[in-house]
Amino acid sequence: MRDVTTTLCYRWFHEVWNQNQEQTIDELLSPDSHAHGLNSENEPKGIEGFKIFYNNFKGQFHDIYVDVLDVISQDDMECAHTKVTAIHTETGKQVKFSGLCLMRIENGQIAEAWNHYDFLNMFQQLGQVLTTLEKA
Q: What is the CATH number of the domain that holds 19?
A: 3.10.450.50
On whether residue 25 sits in a domain, the answer given is: yes
Asked if 99 and 79 count as a contact pair (C-beta separation under 8 A), the reply is no
Distance CA 80, CA 73 (A): 9
User: Global pTM?
Assistant: 0.88
Type of residue found at 57: F
On whether residue 91 sits in a domain, the answer given is: yes
The residue segments making up the domain with residue 89 are: 4-125
Q: Terminal CA-to-CA distance of the chain, rounded, Å?
A: 54
Look at phi and psi of residue 50 and say left if phi exceeds 0, alpha if psi is from -120 to 50, else beta. alpha
On whether residue 133 sits in a domain, the answer given is: no
Residue 129's pLDDT is what?
Answer: 76
Distance CA 111, CA 50 (A): 12
Within 13-112, residue ranges assigned H as helices are 23-28, 46-60
If one counts the domains in the chain, the total is 1
pLDDT tens string for the chain (136 positions)? 568 888 999 999 999 999 999 999 999 999 999 999 887 677 889 999 999 999 999 999 999 999 999 999 999 999 999 999 999 999 999 999 999 999 999 999 999 999 999 999 999 999 987 776 666 5
Distance CA 109, CA 100 (A): 18
On whether residue 135 sits in a domain, the answer given is: no
Type of residue found at 27: E
